[in-house]
């Protein structure tokens, strides 16, 4: 995949959108609208591969372990790392945005967000729905987390079958996963055109004035994401994973670049798997942790949601006392774990957090208008969070087994 071509496509899309917005030229506005299907086709192509790819890779990762006690240990450790990185992400985001508010100007709210699905899920219903009534329907609906639970249980059951039957199912899933990764690689070669089609209409519709008013918000979010990487993720890799930050950063350049340009965690999965192997991580570890992380680990999204909540609360004049902040932290913590691995999902999923503190949901329309840049940065940090979790799990597992880390 040519990352330079992707960056060129992004620059051209932004250029067309800015020109259309600044000049008001009907021809440029029509051109910006005309290229939108290119971006939608690109996203649909990625989403087409997401569900079967995650299912196949997770199944292989669990089935290849062959030991249910080891599965529980590694899976539990991975979940613990996800939670440990998500909480500081929320706090960093709130702190950075609170400071940045001193540099912001008043921003008018959007007129309507009627098309958004912003219904806040009931906690009990959410927990019940984690067990899918019909896993095929869950796949059709794009419900990754319930599907993932079914796949993990099915793969765990497979480990109890006779060896020849285990090998039959696992080899099939492994071959299917390899084919899907190849298909995703082909799709990513079209990313320059897709990114161009995504960027141009968004900027054309938003306008320069809105981008200028939200420059501080974008800057604060990006700064917070870099702080999260430098203060939380890299020390975790170094202290628990046993990998020096410099080596880790050099080994994950491709992952960061693909995550940044495609803004989808699952779309970055092929690159993550490749670089985890080059980093020397155990395949039994990263083949389980990385797909699991791509489905539910969202430290970058959690930080973005916390900066967004503080920003919108200030814009609408909603005071955040200690109780509301605590409720918001919990709501964002839960919401960030259910963000779908597709572009801009972090926005709609934060609706429950806004509702908790009394911020009008109309603010979501503002975020949608300027989300391309924050989405790129937060996805890049998300995928680095996935790689740091895999590295940490591998390091802890190796030390527990009395092995030296290479």
pLDDT surpasses 90 at 100? yes
Q: Decide which of 316 and 50 is more confident.
A: 316
Residue 118 makes CB contacts below 8 A (sequence gap 6+) with 348, 351, 361, 364
Give the side-chain half-sphere CA count within 13 A for 50. 28
CA dihedral 387, 389, 392, 398 (to 10 degrees): -90
Q: C-alpha angle with apex 30: 24 to 36, nearest 5 degrees?
A: 120
Q: Which of 297, 314, 394 is nearest to 354 (CA)?
A: 314
Contact 352, 121 (CB under 8 A): yes
Q: Could you tell me the two tokens for 337?
A: 């774990």
Looking at every residue in the chain, the average pLDDT score rounds to 80
At how many degrees (to 10) do helices 144-158 and 68-100 cross? 160
What pLDDT sits at residue 406? 39
- Could you please report the per-residue DSSP string of 129-184? HTS-S-HHHHHHTT-HHHHHHHHHHHHHHHTTS-HHHHHHHHHHHHHHHHHHHHHH
What pLDDT sits at residue 264? 79
Average pLDDT over residues 94-112: 74
Percent of the chain with pLDDT strictly greater than 70: 80
Average pLDDT over residues 312-319: 82
Q: Decide which of 125 and 174 is more confident.
A: 174
The whole-model pTM stands at 0.65
In angstroms, the first-to-last Cα distance of the chain is: 29
Q: Which range, 42-51, 69-78, 200-209, 297-306, is most confident? A: 297-306
Give the side-chain half-sphere CA count within 13 A for 167. 3
Q: Which range, 48-57, 78-87, 149-158, 333-342, is most confident? A: 78-87
Contact 337, 296 (CB under 8 A): yes
- H or E element that contains 363: helix 363-369
Residue 141 makes CB contacts below 8 A (sequence gap 6+) with none
Confidence of residue 377 (pLDDT cuts 50, 70, 90): very high
Give the side-chain half-sphere CA count within 13 A for 45. 20
pLDDT tens profile 352-376: 677 777 777 666 766 765 777 888 8
What pLDDT sits at residue 318? 81
The DSSP secondary-structure symbol of 263 reads -
What pLDDT sits at residue 194? 82
Task: State how far the Cα of 295 lies from the Cα of 293, in Å rounded to an integer.
Answer: 5
Confidence of residue 119 (pLDDT cuts 50, 70, 90): very low
Average pLDDT over residues 244-256: 92
Q: Decide which of 66 and 274 is more confident.
A: 274
Q: Could you tell me the two tokens for 246?
A: 């410099």
Average pLDDT over residues 378-396: 94
Average pLDDT over residues 370-399: 90
- Could you please report the per-residue DSSP string of 169-235? HHHHHHHHHHHHHHHHHHHHTTHHHHHHHHHHHHHHHH-HHHHHHTHHHHHHHHHHHHHHIIIIIHH
pLDDT surpasses 90 at 85? yes
CA distances to 117, 180, 192, 212, 360 from 189, in Å: 32, 14, 7, 32, 40
Q: Decide which of 65 and 288 is more confident.
A: 288
Contact 105, 213 (CB under 8 A): yes
Residue listed under structure tokens 């350049």:
253
Q: Which of 225, 273, 284, 275 is nearest to 249 (CA)?
A: 275
Task: State how far the Cα of 145 lies from the Cα of 128, in Å rounded to an integer.
Answer: 12
Q: Decide which of 33 and 141 is more confident.
A: 33
């Amino acid at each position: 995949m040519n990352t330079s071509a992707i960056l060129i496509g992004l620059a051209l899309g932004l250029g067309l959108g800015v020109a259309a917005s600044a000049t008001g030229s009907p021809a440029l506005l029509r051109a910006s609208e005309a290229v939108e299907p290119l971006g939608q086709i690109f996203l649909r192509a990625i989403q087409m591969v997401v569900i079967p790819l995650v299912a196949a890779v997770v199944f292989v990762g669990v089935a290849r372990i062959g030991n249910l006690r080891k599965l529980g240990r590694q899976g539990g450790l991975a979940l613990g790392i996800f939670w440990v990185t998500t909480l500081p992400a929320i706090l960093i985001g709130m702190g950075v945005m609170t400071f940045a508010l001193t540099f912001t100007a008043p921003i008018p709210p959007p007129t309507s967000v009627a098309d958004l699905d912003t219904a806040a899920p009931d906690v009990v219903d959410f927990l019940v729905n984690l067990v899918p009534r019909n896993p095929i329907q869950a796949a059709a609906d794009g419900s990754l987390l319930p599907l993932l639970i079914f796949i993990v249980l099915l793969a765990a059951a497979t480990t109890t079958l006779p060896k020849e039957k285990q090998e039959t199912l696992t080899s099939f899933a492994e071959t299917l996963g390899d084919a899907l990764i190849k298909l995703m690689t082909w799709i990513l070669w079209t990313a320059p055109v897709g990114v161009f089609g995504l960027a141009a209409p968004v900027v054309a519709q938003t306008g320069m004035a809105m981008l200028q008013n939200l420059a501080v918000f974008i800057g604060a979010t990006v700064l917070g994401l870099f702080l999260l990487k430098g203060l939380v993720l890299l020390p975790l890799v170094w202290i628990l994973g046993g990998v020096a930050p410099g080596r880790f950063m050099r080994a994950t350049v491709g992952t960061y670049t693909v995550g940044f340009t495609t803004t989808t965690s699952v779309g970055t999965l092929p690159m993550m798997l490749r670089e985890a192997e080059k980093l020397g991580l155990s395949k039994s570890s990263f083949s389980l942790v990385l797909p699991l992380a791509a489905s539910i680990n969202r430290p970058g999204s959690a930080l973005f949601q916390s900066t967004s909540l503080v920003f919108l609360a200030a814009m609408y004049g909603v005071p955040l006392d200690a109780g509301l902040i605590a409720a918001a932290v919990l709501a964002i913590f839960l919401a960030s774990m259910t963000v779908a691995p597709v572009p801009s999902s972090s926005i709609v999923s934060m609706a429950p957090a806004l509702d908790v503190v009394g911020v009008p949901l109309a603010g979501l329309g503002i975020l949608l208008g300027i989300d391309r840049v924050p989405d790129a940065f937060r996805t890049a940090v998300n995928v680095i969070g996935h790689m740091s979790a895999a590295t940490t799990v591998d390091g802890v597992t190796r030390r527990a087994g009395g092995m030296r880390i290479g």
